[in-house]
Each structure stands twice: as structure tokens, then as C-alpha cells.
Structure 1
Amino acid sequence: MLWIFWLILGFIVLFIIIKAVVIVKQYEGGLIFRLGKVIGKLKPGVNIIIPFLDVPVKVDLRTKVTDIPPQDMITKDNAVVRVDAIIYYRVVDVEKALLEVEDYEYAIINLAQTTLRAIIGNMELDEVLNKREYINSKLLEILDKETDAWGVRVEKVEVKEIDPPEDIKNAMAQQMKAERLKRAAILEAEGEKQSRILKAEGIAESLRIEAEGRAKAIKIVAEAAREYFKDEAQIYQALEVAKVVLKDNSKYIISENILDLAKNFINKEKVKK
């Protein structure tokens, strides 16, 4: 029976040793309460306490992410919007976090909800929809200031969603559709205008090239006539050549009467001689 006694005693000693050792992780902190009074802080690593008299309380010091539950809020112009957000915070003072507030996470969520309602209530609907960054910065400023007494630092606040009433959504959708149609019509008109300009420029360039070609042809004909024909024959042949060259040209019109008059003038000059 003696061995049973020592076995039980061994289990009791082992249990007391286990209770006396508190292991704290690197990202944790905490306090040691002895009969309800703080007697020290827990540090990362192994901490020795008196079992049954000391109570260790740990706190996670890493940044935590907490949702602010969605809630309906009334804007300054009496529009109802549904807003939810996310808070990034961490404990920077373990003693304040455990002694100054019962549940700092619950307190932060409720404070964020009331603060967000106050901010939205001082803004009109258009401002709420268009000034999300302002809402984030204002909410962060107020929360960080108020939670300082709890040993908590609010690092970032992000409004996740702002959900306006259904009729406002429909109006916004119609407005966006009208804007898209307007932009499409403008782009189409600009494209058509550009196409017409390019087409007109092409026609003008074609006419210019054609005119230059005709002019060069007439010049070549005139120079050839001056070189190979003499006296009246030169004039007569030049007119004949010009008539042939310009016969089918709709751009340059030379009356055939002019050619007849030129011939008559040559014949008269011959009679005079």
C-alpha cells in the first residue's frame, strides 16, 4: 500500500509543478493576480507562480482584425444607408487593457458603431458615397483617441461597404447607363467626324495630284509644240494637240470655237501676206 501513497504524492507534486509553470509566447503579454491583486507581469518564456494563489492572465499583443457589424444609419438628408467596416487594432499596454475595461474588443466594436453613426449623421448621402476616405480617417482619429485609455491602439479603419436604399441604387444605375450611352455617342460622333475629314482630305489630295498631272501634260505639249513647229503651223498644231489632249478632260473646258477662231486668224494672216 505504501507504493500507492507515493504514487499519489508524486502525481500531486507533478500537478503542482505544472500549475507553477506558466509559458508565455513571444507575441503574448499578461499580468499575475495574487488573491485579486496585480503582483507582476508575465514575460515571454517560462514564468513561475504560486499555484492556487496566483492567477495568470494572458493577452495577445498582435494586431487583430475585427468586423463592425452592418447597421442602418440615417444621413443628414434623411437617407437610410447600411454601413459596415473593419478595424485593425492591437494592445500596447497590457495593464490598462486588463484593468481599465472589462472586454476591450467588445468595447471597441460598440464605440466604432456609435462613432460611425455620428459621422454618417453629419453627412449628406452624396458625401457618404463619395467621401469614404474621409469617413475612414475621421473614424480612425476618434477611435484611436478614445481607446488610448484602454491601452489599445487602433491602427487602421476601413469602411467595407456603403449600401444605399434600393431606389437610390436604381437611380444611380440609370445615371451610369446614361453616362455610358453619352460617352458612346460622343465617341461615335468623333469617329464619324474624323472619318469624314480623312475622306475629304483624301479627295482633295487626289484632285491636287490629278490637276498637277494635267498641268504637267499641258506643259509638256506646249514645250514640244514650240520646239517642233514653226510660225503659223506651230500655232495650228499646238491648238490641235491641245484639243486632243483636253478632249476628254472634264476638269478643264476649252471651247471648240476658240480653236476655230484661231484657225480663221491664221488664214487671214496668210491672205494678208
Structure 2
Amino acid sequence: MNPLILRRSALRAASRTRVSSAVVPRRTFLTIIEQGKEGWRLSLGRDPVRLSPGLNINIPLYHAVHKIDLRESSISIPNLPGYTADNVPVACSGSLFYRITDGYKACFEVSDVQTNIRNTGTSAVRSVLGHFTYDQVIGDRNELNKRLNTVIGNSIANWGVECTRFEIQTFQPANREVERQLELQMEAERNRRKQLLDTQAQINVAEGQKQRVILESEGHLAAKSNEADAAFKTVVREAEARKQQALMEASALAQQIDALAEAVAAPGSAPGPAERKQALTALIELRRLEQLRAIAAGTGNSTYFFGDRAAMGLGSTAGEAYNVDYAEQVKGGLVRKGRVDSGVAQAAI
């Protein structure tokens, strides 16, 4: 016989032996429940008994053991098509995290707990996604996760399963055309926001200019008010100063009159009204002399005539020797007289 054929026959026999050994399970009277899991043993399909982690008895053909993982697990939901509230076709994927809290319900209230949890999560994602717009999901994905966690948790609570959280992993438009339309929409939205910001900036600039003008006008008003107050106080103080000066001058004049009256009065006697009047007349004459001295020292072109009226043939009165007003009157009379004489001469010619 051909050696190649014998080798192939031996390989086929070995493979059949390995398959048979893999298919036929080894039966034992003991079973091990790992930590973090829970077991339920049925006797001829009934009377479930809870098995704690460790070594437990398992009689073949009489007992059947169901193991439940009590640790937190996750189910991946692949790219799932759906529609948002504004009718945008999208594709999203996520992970559903759950934990079995009641092993009895998970074993006997539902046929296949993981498959049903996956189906519930898939339908919940499509349902909840229809309550949110595309911008809401993009802007706040946590709100969608919270809503999914609540909806899925309420649906699987009767199976003794707790939904710990749901995380959206990918969220994107279903095709390129929708993505392009959304990009145009987002660009328009950005332009609108830019225009709003520019308008608000212009409003802020105008408001700043308005406030600047108001503050400047208030500053000018305050400055004018301060200037008016300063001028008023200056006038009041100058008037008070003049008043004090007049009082001081009057007091000095009274002292001078008293001193002159005492000098004119007889020795050892008090000055009377006559002496005071004589002293006042003398002071007035002295003041007139001071005025005449000031007029003489001035740069005016006016000509003044001084002298008594008797010297001019017009009579004299006591106290009018240096009357400036009288001199002006005499000067005016002479001028008028010269004009009259010139007019008579011209008429005669």
C-alpha cells in the first residue's frame, strides 16, 4: 500500500479521536463557582438552589447548574442608524454597562439576559435619539447618556439587572451629503454668531463713547460750578476785604481827627465839636493837596488852573482856593468866550 495513503488515514483517525474527546464532556460530582459569580442548581429541572462561590456538589444527570456573573459587564452596541428630532440621519455606537443584582430573576425571569439587554439597549437608543436635535447631542452628549441610562434601567429592572451607565462612543451623520449640509449649517451659524458679536462690540463702543461724552460734560459742569463758586467766594472775600479796609480807614480817620482836635484844643481841655470840625476841614484840605500832587505827576494833557476866585476877579470863598471843579468851570468859560469872539469877528468880516 502507498505510504502516503497510510499517513492520511492515520491523520484522519487522530482528528476524529480529538473531536470525540472535545465533544464528550467530562462528568464529575463537583463544580466550582468562581468569585464574583453565582450559581443556581436545579434538581431534575426544578427546585433551584443558590450556590455560593467555591466547591459545590453537582451530580451528573440529576443536577443542572446555571452560572451568573454578578460583576459589572458591558455590551457593545455597534453603528446603529437613527434619526434625530430635526430629521437628521445619523449613525451612533455606544457601550451599555450593567450589573446583575438578582441572580434568580436573571436566570428564571428571562431566557437569555445578555441578548435581551442588547435588544433593549438598541431600541432605547433609537427611541431616545429621536427626542434630541443634532445640535443638542453635539453640544451636550452627557444629557443623552443620562436619558438612555434612565430608560434602559427602567426596562431591565424587572430582570434583576441594574443599568449602571450608557456611554455614546461615536455620533456622526449617516452619509457625506448630510455631513456637508450640516457643515454649511454650522458655517452659517458661526457667521451669524460673528455678526452678533460684531454688533455687540459696536454697541459696546457706542455705549463707551456715550459714557465718555456724559462724563466729559459732567466734568465740564463740575469745573464751571467750581469756577463759579470760586468767583463767588473771591467776590465775597474782596467785598469783605474792602469792608474791612473801609472800616480800618474810617477808624484811622477818626483817630487822626481826634489827634488833630486834641492838638487844636486849648491845653488841658477836652476837644469840642468846633475843634473836631476844624480838624476834619484840615484833613480834607490835606487830601485835596494829595490829589493835586497826583494830578501833577500824571501824564494827562489836560490843563488845570488853580488859584482863588478873588485873583481872577470872581470873588473868593473860604475853602475854595484849590477847587478843581471850579477851575474846570473857569476853563470851559474861557473856551466858550473865545469861540463867541471868533464868531463875532467872522460875522463882521
Give the structure with the larger strand fraction. 1
Partner of residue 285, structure 2: none
The code of the aligned residue for 2:55 comes to N
% identity of equivalent residues = 22
Partner of residue 215, structure 2: 201
Do the aligned partners of 2:74 and 2:95 also contact (CA within 8 Å) in 1?
Answer: yes
Partner of residue 220, structure 1: 234
Whichever of the two has the greater Rg, that structure is: 2
Moved more, 133-142 or 90-99: 133-142
Offset of residue 122 of structure 1: 6.8
1:168 aligns with 2:182: yes
3-state SS of the aligned residue for 1:82?
A: strand
Do the aligned partners of 2:38 and 2:70 also contact (CA within 8 Å) in 1?
Answer: yes
Do the aligned partners of 2:33 and 2:39 also contact (CA within 8 Å) in 1?
Answer: no
Partner of residue 305, structure 2: none
Q: Could you tell me which runs of 5 or more consecutive residues in structure 1 were left unpaired when the two chains were aligned.
A: 1-15, 231-269
Offset of residue 73 of structure 1: 0.9
Q: Write the distance in 1 (CA, Å) between the matches of 2:112 and 2:162.
A: 15
Offset of residue 171 of structure 1: 0.5
User: Which of 49, 69, 76 is the matching residue for 1:67?
Assistant: 76
The code of the aligned residue for 2:92 comes to V
Q: Write the distance in 2 (CA, Å) between the matches of 1:141 and 1:185.
A: 43
Q: Write the distance in 2 (CA, Å) between the matches of 1:138 and 1:216.
A: 74
User: Which of 92, 98, 101 is the matching residue for 1:89?
Assistant: 98
Aligned-CA RMSD value: 4.3
The code of the aligned residue for 1:20 comes to L
TM-score of the aligned structures, taking structure 2 as reference length: 0.47
- Cα distance change of structure 1 residues 190 and 24 upon mapping to structure 2, 3 Å threshold: same
The code of the aligned residue for 2:89 comes to V
Moved more, 199-208 or 171-180: 199-208
1:143 aligns with 2:152: yes
Q: Write the distance in 2 (CA, Å) between the matches of 1:75 and 1:179.
A: 24
The code of the aligned residue for 1:47 comes to L
- Cα distance change of structure 1 residues 189 and 112 upon mapping to structure 2, 3 Å threshold: same
Partner of residue 6, structure 2: none
Q: Write the distance in 1 (CA, Å) between the matches of 2:137 and 2:162.
A: 26
Partner of residue 88, structure 2: 79
Partner of residue 247, structure 1: none
Offset of residue 31 of structure 1: 1.9
TM-score of the aligned structures, taking structure 1 as reference length: 0.57
- Cα distance change of structure 1 residues 223 and 131 upon mapping to structure 2, 3 Å threshold: closer
Do the aligned partners of 1:69 and 1:84 also contact (CA within 8 Å) in 2?
Answer: yes
3-state SS of the aligned residue for 1:84?
A: strand
3-state SS of the aligned residue for 1:62?
A: coil
Deviations, residues 26-57 of structure 1 (Å, cap 9, x unaligned) = x321223567666522113x332146555644
Partner of residue 104, structure 1: 113
Q: Write the distance in 2 (CA, Å) between the matches of 1:76 and 1:197.
A: 46
Q: Write the distance in 2 (CA, Å) between the matches of 1:149 and 1:155.
A: 15
- Cα distance change of structure 1 residues 194 and 47 upon mapping to structure 2, 3 Å threshold: same
Q: Write the distance in 1 (CA, Å) between the matches of 2:134 and 2:31.
A: 57
3-state SS of the aligned residue for 1:111?
A: helix
1:5-84 equivalences in 2 (<5 Å): 20=30, 22-25=32-35, 27-32=36-41, 39-44=48-53, 46-50=54-58, 52=60, 56-75=65-84, 78-84=87-93
Partner of residue 260, structure 1: none
Q: Write the distance in 2 (CA, Å) between the matches of 1:227 and 1:127.
A: 82
1:183 aligns with 2:197: yes
Deviations, residues 169-223 of structure 1 (Å, cap 9, x unaligned) = 4303431342244134303421442244135413541453255236524752674
- Cα distance change of structure 1 residues 76 and 204 upon mapping to structure 2, 3 Å threshold: closer
Do the aligned partners of 1:24 and 1:42 also contact (CA within 8 Å) in 2?
Answer: no
Do the aligned partners of 2:84 and 2:130 also contact (CA within 8 Å) in 1?
Answer: yes
